[in-house]
Amino acid sequence: MKRRDFVGLSALAAGAVFLPNFPGFGGTLVTPERLLESVMDAAVNKRLADAALNAAKSAGASYADVRIGRYLNQSIFTREKQVQNIQSGESFGAGVRVLANGTWGFAATNTVTEAGLAKAAQLAVQIAKANSKVQKEQVKLAPVKGHGEVSWKTPIQQNAFEVPIAQKVELLLAANAKALDNGANFVNSSLFQINEQKYFASTDGSYIDQDVHRIWPTFDVTAIDRASGKFRTRQALSAPMGMGYEYMTPKAAGKIAGPAGTGLVGYKDSYDILEDAALAAKQAKEKITAKSVVPGKYDLVLDPNHLGLTIHESVGHPTELDRVLGYEANYAGTSFATLEWRAKKQPYGSKLVNIVADKLQPGSLGAVGYDDEGVKTKKWDIIKDGVLVDYQKIRDQAAMVGQNESDGCCYADSWSSVQFQRMPNVSLQPGKAKLSVDEMIKNVDKGIYIAGRGSFSIDQQRYNSQFGGTVFYAINKGKIDGMLEDVAYQTNTLEFWNSCAAICDESDYRLFGSFFDGKGQPSQVSAVSHGSATTRFNGVNVINTARKIG
Amino acid sequence: MAILSKEEAQAILTKVLSYSKADECEVTLNGRTGGNVRSARNAISTAGAVDNVSLAVESRFGKRSGVATCNEFDEATLRRCVQRAEEIARLAPESPEYVPYLGAQKYLAPSPAAFAAATANITPDYRAQQTAASMKLCEQKKLSSAGFLNDEAGFIAKRNSKGLEAYQQITNLEYSVTVRTPDGTGSGYATADYNDASKFDAARLTQIAADKAAASVGAKAIEPGKYTVILEPAALVANTDASLLAALMNALDARNADEGRSFLSKKGGGNRKGEKLFDERVTIYSDPLNAEIPTLTFSGDGRPQQKMTWIEKGVVKNLYTTRFWAQKAGIPDIPRPGGWIMEGGTQSVQDMIKGTEKGILVTRLWYIRPVDPQTLLYTGLTRDGTFYIENGKIKHPVKNFRFNESPIIMLNNLEAIGKPQRVGGNLVPPLKIRDFTFTSLSDAV
């Protein structure tokens, strides 16, 4: 059977695993049909959850919550003209978290029966009581009123798991063909799809049924010049989204033209992978002969598909309250934005900088109705007119900063992982006055326009960062003036945000996303979006990254 | 049932293979049991446990392949798992990169040190006691600790329809701790890993981190630029982040080099195997029987792991590859190693400091990311103990730096190599490097 026959015959086929080591989502590999079976029944889950909660209370818990979760994923990988790997995975089980003697305990089980959950609850209480012997301070939970029986679903139009694999494979291979036809030597493309079916219940009286969907198409194109031995890559300019397969259907209204002279297109709530792959191939080739940047101070004009990552690293992470308090010190680090620092009301950025946290934003990766400890989600200010006004909190942190309400930022990447504080969608608000990206560039005398994520690194307290990008264009006297290479900018978070000089308006606003954001020990991943419009930062230090290795 | 004996595991695999109707079938059992404790602010924050055995079945019809897994072992489930793998295989496209399974292989007898009963028998009480000892030491010194202890005992068993049979048990314990001063102006770090938990002492490691934290208070800013550095082993290899030496080892892939997208690609085509690309004191090899870092004697696809030299006296001697690419390119069929050893000398870090007129001691590097795959240029920052050395002594702590450096350039600027220590399952010596490129300062502690 040839590949095309497979594509034609198989509406729901899983493919060969000859090529190794792609990032997996965990769980057990299953036939794709399994992903369409419905095994989560709210009435059954309520009975099971009550068994866990009652067992926890009987064993001595003062509080308990239970998460019964079915986590589905599918990933498709291709290179050039072939399918490399198709994985369909499912993970099903339950995690019980309890407070006993003022100390947390957690246990998980894949035996999702009343007896299995009761046993897990008893074990969680046992662990909590054992740990309480070495604890000095009791956990204080911010109050949450029970929500009763409620539900929430990502507002998708087309469930990606219901789309035949054949159709998805065909699209990725068509994108690869576009790249190869336009001069690429190599192309890898992939499509990640996630569906979290989560049932949460707590002794507060909440029974919450949620159905969360995420999708991420992406590719990497490489062009090689054999004579010089140079090679360059260009990544997709898609964003992972909290959407269904409708994201893969290009819509004219979802496209935003990049600056004149670049040919770039920004994608809002739909993605044209064929168009982007063709342009990527041309740009990867162009990068081989692009001018190497002259280091110095430049005014940077940053596309949302680049700036999202800067927001993530320099605002999202440092305003996580668990980092501020020291819980992440051994791994990802702490934060410069300490409680004392915030009390001084030191400017985080210029007055133009308004950054909001929002767990409700349509299309975003972090959108849910309720977090993983039953808190109804909301939108709130993190930075207002350039000043840090709040952090991201969960129930056991609110009291530590003199507040009595969680922000709904609790998340676990699996039923078997304990939930903890994770970043909500954190986004820069667009400018209020009308301003297009071309108008913004018109006012830049010596600058660089950057799109795409590229290389990124920031210190453990989130001061010093270095960011690269996918494509770079010189801006000379108000105009795009050819492609640049070897560009990275180094900055300090506070200097960077204080150099923010202009933000395009709402019409340029788009989401960027991080699909596998890591944190915690053992490490867990979460997905989160960052919105912005194209933004200008004045006088940023740009270095040249070209080196010789002999 | 997490740790099955060879006989128990092969009995299950033989039974599963007997259900196969495919042209070829390979089955793998993977089991592990273990636990972890996380702490911060001198208190336990989370604790967990894991205990699981899973079976993977790969079935092939011609060049089509399907994989299914399960973690229940009753006959009906096992039969369903095989059936599912065969269903998937029948629907899959032919793989242009198909190679037949390996037949029976001869493997080295695993090192007895690979599996330690002391690690397999760890209890929740043991984890709590070790963590408590670390926290107590810091409390007494009025310091704040954040640590992570993780231990695992496991096995892997393989069998296929061509006669391949493999089995090995392995254990591992790792611990890391960051100690900070209460005012947030000092921070120190220590990490270690072992096959045998009886070698582990959380308090001893915490003492190192605590001493560094206390000594790093009052860091002075010095200008970024090119400096002689002593990079401790944890600054060269990390198990929580990318790292400079691991990046180099990860780049020794034959296919990427041959395809023209690696620092090992040659102008005009081909690769740079056989060329001297590093200082002649650089020798890196792997050995699954090394007593300090015993690893599996077979690779994931069943190829035997043997002692293998990767870089010898600065010359690239071997590249690893998939079986498909080895056949296509007509090159040696070498699997990627489980761990590796960089040869060193006998000097400790203290000895190296004594022999340094001016330089910087680096405890740990962080957020290391690739900047340019063409030159293997990486960026990242120093963290948790960075000190200025003058006339053979640590003079004062310095503020952290961002670096932009390539391990290729770094290993051409070698001043001295110290005694290798185990880090992340590898043996890594501290290195003294001249002209290491720091490009900016960081205020982070």
Provide the 8-state DSSP code for A316. Answer: I
The per-residue pLDDT for A19 is: 26
With CB atoms and an 8 Å threshold, state whether B369 touches A20: no
Give the tens place of pLDDT for each residue, B231-241.
999 999 998 88
Which residues of B fall within a CB distance of 8 Å from A28?
54, 69-71
Complex ipTM more than 0.90, yes or no = yes
With contacts defined as CB-CB under 8 Å, which chain A residues touch B439? Answer: 466, 490, 543
Positions of E strands within A226-366? 230-235, 255-257, 265-267, 291-292, 296-302, 355-358
b/e burial code for range A342-380 (CB count within 10 A of at least 16 → b): beeeebbbbebbbbbbbbbbebbbbbbbbbbbbbbbeeb
Q: Residue B211: its pLDDT value, please?
A: 98
3-state secondary structure of A236: coil
Per-residue pLDDT of chain A (550 residues; tens, 9 = 90+): 333 333 332 332 222 222 223 344 567 777 777 788 888 899 999 999 999 999 999 999 999 999 999 999 999 999 999 998 888 888 899 999 999 999 999 999 988 999 999 999 999 999 899 888 888 889 999 999 999 999 999 999 999 999 999 999 999 999 999 999 999 999 999 999 999 999 999 999 999 999 999 999 999 999 999 999 999 999 999 999 999 999 999 999 999 999 999 999 999 999 999 999 999 999 999 999 999 999 999 999 999 999 999 999 999 999 999 999 999 999 999 999 999 999 999 999 999 999 999 999 999 999 999 999 999 999 999 999 999 999 999 999 999 999 999 999 999 999 999 999 999 999 999 999 999 999 999 999 999 999 999 999 999 999 999 999 999 999 999 999 999 999 999 999 999 999 999 999 999 999 999 999 999 999 999 999 999 999 999 999 999 999 998 7
- Picking from A29, A103, A226 by the largest number of B CB atoms within 10 A of its own CB, the best residue to mutate is A29
Q: How far is CA B373 from CA A232, B48, B266, B267, B408, in A?
A: 9, 38, 14, 15, 12
CA distance A231 to A285: 9
The whole-angstrom distance between residue A433's C-alpha and the CA centroid of its chain comes to 29
pLDDT confidence of B424, banded at 50, 70, 90? Answer: very high
CA–CA dist A208, A67 (Å, integer)? 9
Q: Please report which helix (H) or strand (E) contains residue B193, including its range.
A: strand B187-194
CA dist A421 and A393 (Å) reads 7
Question: In this structure, what DSSP letter does residue A313 have?
Answer: I
Cα–Cα distances in angstroms (integers) from residue A378 to residues A263, A307, A363, A368, in the given order: 38, 23, 15, 9
| CB of B283 closer than 8 Å to CB of B309 | yes
Beta-carbon neighbour count of residue A22 at 10 Å?
15
- B66, B369, B445 ranked by CB distance to A456: nearest: B369
With contacts defined as CB-CB under 8 Å, which chain A residues touch B54? 28
Is residue A396 within 8 Å of A371, Cβ to Cβ?
no
Mean pLDDT of chain B: 96
pTM, 2 dp:
0.95
Which three-class secondary structure state does DSSP give residue B217? coil
Phi-psi category of residue B277: left, alpha or beta, with phi > 0 → left and psi -120 to 50 → alpha: alpha
Q: Is the pLDDT of residue B350 over 90?
A: yes
pLDDT of the residue at B70: 86
- How many angstroms separate the CA atoms of B129 and A198, rounded? 36
CB B82 within 8 A of CB B89: no
A83/B93 CB distance under 8 A: yes
pLDDT for the residue numbered A124: 93
Distance from CA of B43 to the nearest CA of A (A): 6
B247: enclosing H helix or E strand = helix B244-250
Please give the biggest Cα pair distance in chain B.
73
pLDDT of residue B52: 84
Q: Are A457 and A517 in contact (CB under 8 A)?
A: no
Closest CA of chain A from B124, distance in Å: 9
Name the burial class of residue A92, with classes exposed (0-12), middle (13-18) and buried (19+) by CB atoms within 10 angstroms of its CB.
Answer: middle
Q: Is A203 left (phi over 0), alpha (psi -120 to 50) or beta?
A: alpha
Task: With a cut of 70, say whether residue B87 has pLDDT above it.
Answer: yes
Cα A533 from Cα A437, distance rounded (Å): 9
**Band of residue B428 on the pLDDT scale cut at 50, 70, 90:** very high
A547: nearest CB among B44, B406, B441: B406
What is the distance between the alpha carbons of residues B241 and B230, in angstroms, rounded to a whole number?
20
The answer to whether A329 touches B180, Cβ cutoff 8 Å, is yes
Strands B377-390 and B358-372 turn out to be antiparallel
Q: What is the distance between the alpha carbons of residues B51 and A82, in angstroms, rounded to a whole number? A: 37
Residue B116 structure tokens: 């330690």
- As a whole number of angstroms, the distance between CA A477 and CA A481 comes to 9
Could you tell me which residue, B85 or B186, shows the higher pLDDT? B186
SS3 content of chain B, % helix, strand, coil (to 5): 25, 40, 40
Sign, Cα dihedral of B353, B359, B360, B363: negative
Pick the residue with more confidence: B32 or A506? A506
Q: How many CB atoms lie within 10 A of CB B433?
A: 23
DSSP string, A397-439: TGGGGT-----S-EE-SSTTS--EE---EEEEPPBSS---HHH
Task: Tell me how far apart the terminal alpha carbons of chain B are, to the nearest angstrom.
Answer: 45
Q: Chain B: residue nearest A457 by CA?
A: B367
Q: Are A266 and A255 in contact (CB under 8 A)?
A: yes
pLDDT bracket for residue B1 (50, 70, 90):
low
Interface size between A and B, measured as CB pairs under 8 A? 241
Bridge-based pairing state of the strands A355-358 and A425-428: antiparallel
What pLDDT is recorded for position B151?
Answer: 96
Which of B277, B322, B402 is nearest residue A464 as measured by Cβ atoms? Answer: B402
Q: Distance, in angstroms, between B285 CA and closest chain A CA?
A: 22
- The residue with tokens 């947390």 is A104
Residue contact B94–A1, C-beta within 8 A:
yes
Among residues B66, B64, B56, the alpha carbon closest in space to that of B98 is found at B64
How far is CA A236 from each of CA A216, A352, B295, rounded to the nearest angstrom?
11, 30, 38
Record the tokens describing residue B220, joined without a space: 């002075």
Of residues B348, B352, B365, the one with CA closest to residue B245: B365
DSSP A486: S
Asked if B68 lies within 8 A of A228 by C-beta distance, the reply is no
Looking at residue B93, the DSSP 8-state letter turns out to be P
SS3 B133: helix
Residues A469 and A283: beta-carbon distance below 8 Å: no
Q: Is there a contact between A226 and B367 if contact means CB atoms under 8 Å apart?
A: no
Say whether A29 and B69 touch across the interface (CB within 8 A).
yes
Angle among Cα B246, B109, B6 to the nearest 5 degrees reads 100
- Are the Cβ atoms of A28 and B69 closer than 8 angstroms? yes
